[in-house]
Amino acid sequence: MRVLILGADGYLGWPTALRFSVRGDDVLALDSGVKRRWEQEVGALPLFPTLDFRERAARWRDAGGAPVETVVCDLCDYPALAQVLRRWRPDAIVHFAEQPSAPFSMMSVERAVLTQTNNLVGTLNLLWGMREACPQAHLIKLGTMGQYGTPNIDIEEGFIDIEHKGRRDRLPFPSQPGSFYHLSKVHDSHNMRFACAAWGLAATDLNQGVVYGIETVETGPESEQGGSFHYDAIFGTALNRFCVQAAAESPLTIYGAGAQKRGFINICDVLDCIEIAARHPARPGEYRVFNQFTQVFSIAELADLVADSAGRLGLRTTTERLANPRSEAAEHYYNPVADGLKALGLTPRLLTPEFVETMLRAIAPHASQIDLSTIRPATRWR
């Protein structure tokens, strides 16, 4: 296939580009570089050094990897994006090119507007560009399980069958997003669904859980190709942050009682899901949704797992309860469905103490570079 990766310089984007390259597909990796600028602005730098976007591609080629073409382009620049689409004519488009952080979107009016402008305008430009230049392409966009919120019913995959006053219909599952970032993802989904219905485009929304892990088969533990691993309170995710705190023998910071439940997924499973979606594309005119997670944990359960694993490695670990900076239920029902990708062949990698130990061992040599001041939340919803 001819595959276009948008947001290819990131934690998920670059490993995905390498995955398709290894599989023998022609890959064009696109990024604007704006995420690195945002990281600098808020002082949230990745733990492991990452090469420049184009330098990574050059090193990959020099090491014998299939060439990955790179292009610097902002999705909010429609003429530039349309030119890329007309030239590349992709079969599949994997869309990571969005501001990915709920705390970032809640920092100020400027960053809330930036988040929604970047995400909505970029995706809307992409849909129009596909209509004009490559209507046959299959769009695979990274969504979020956070679109659903925590309703007091089972969370289905994108749609729900309802009966109302004697009539039945299949409708989009109600959205209860918890930040301006999550709201942007909801708006994206509506635009995608409409574009598929109106223009016959094909799209898959992957509503993803919280990702954890450091390397993939393609990036490898000793490779220069590693992704952007964050542990801070802005761009870091829960398990990654706990592992960094444990490696630094700093208390694991739990928001509130820690009873909040979320879906979680290994970074390697993310790549498998994206490849599965690409190999089994949606039909023309079809907008489909897969819930992309493999296990559900409460935050306190994650902290206990990390603390136990750290203890086996001789690390002294405690926990600290912080006032929850977010507006969310302290305890809630949470039973989401995730059957679609498994039916297409996903074999989940489950989170085990042994896996946590491999993360701790990988982080340990970099413990002196950990900036603990970036971990405590500075952004509050209220």
Residue listed under structure tokens 């006053």: 165
Q: Of 233, 216, 337, whose CA–CA distance to 269 is shortest?
A: 216
- Using 50, 70 and 90 to split pLDDT, how confident is the model at 223? low
Mean pLDDT of 44-58: 91
**Residue 18 to residue 64: CA distance in whole angstroms:** 12
Q: Cα 215 vs. chain centroid, distance in angstroms?
A: 15
* Cα 13 from Cα 96, distance rounded (Å): 6
Cα 317 from chain centre: 28
| pLDDT above 70 for 30 | yes
Is the model's pLDDT at 224 over the cut of 80? Answer: no
Domain residues of the chain, as ranges?
2-374
Residue 44 tokens, joined = 């949230």
Q: Is the pLDDT of residue 48 over 80?
A: yes
Phi, psi of 163, rounded to the nearest 5 degrees: -120, 130
Helical axes 267-279 vs 13-22, angle rounded to 10°: 50
Q: pTM here?
A: 0.97
Any idea which of 19-23, 63-67, 71-75, 184-188 has the lowest mean pLDDT?
63-67
Q: By the 8 A CB rule, do 242 and 310 touch?
A: no
Of 14-18, 142-146, 217-221, the one with minimum mean pLDDT is 217-221
pLDDT at 218: 87
303-321 per-position pLDDT tens digit: 999 999 999 999 999 999 9
Residue 325 gets the label, from left (phi > 0), alpha (psi -120 to 50) or beta, of alpha
pLDDT at 222 over 80: no
Task: List the one residue out of 30, 28, 5 whose CA is nearest residue 16.
Answer: 5
Q: What is the CATH number that goes with domain 2-374?
A: 3.40.50.720
- What is the per-residue pLDDT for 72? 97
Residues in the chain: 382
Mean pLDDT value of segment 252-273? 97
C-alpha–C-alpha distance, residues 289 and 141, integer Å: 10
How far is Cα 362 from Cα 219, in angstroms, rounded to an integer? 13
What is the arithmetic mean of pLDDT over 331-356? 97
Q: What is the separation of C-alpha 267 from the centre of its chain, rounded to a whole number of angstroms? A: 9
Residues with a known catalytic role:
144, 181, 185
pLDDT in tens, 106-164: 999 999 999 999 999 999 999 999 999 999 999 999 999 999 999 999 999 999 999 99
Q: What percent of the chain has pLDDT over 90?
A: 94
Return the pLDDT at 221: 62
8 Å CB contact between 31 and 53: yes
pLDDT for 226 beyond 80: no
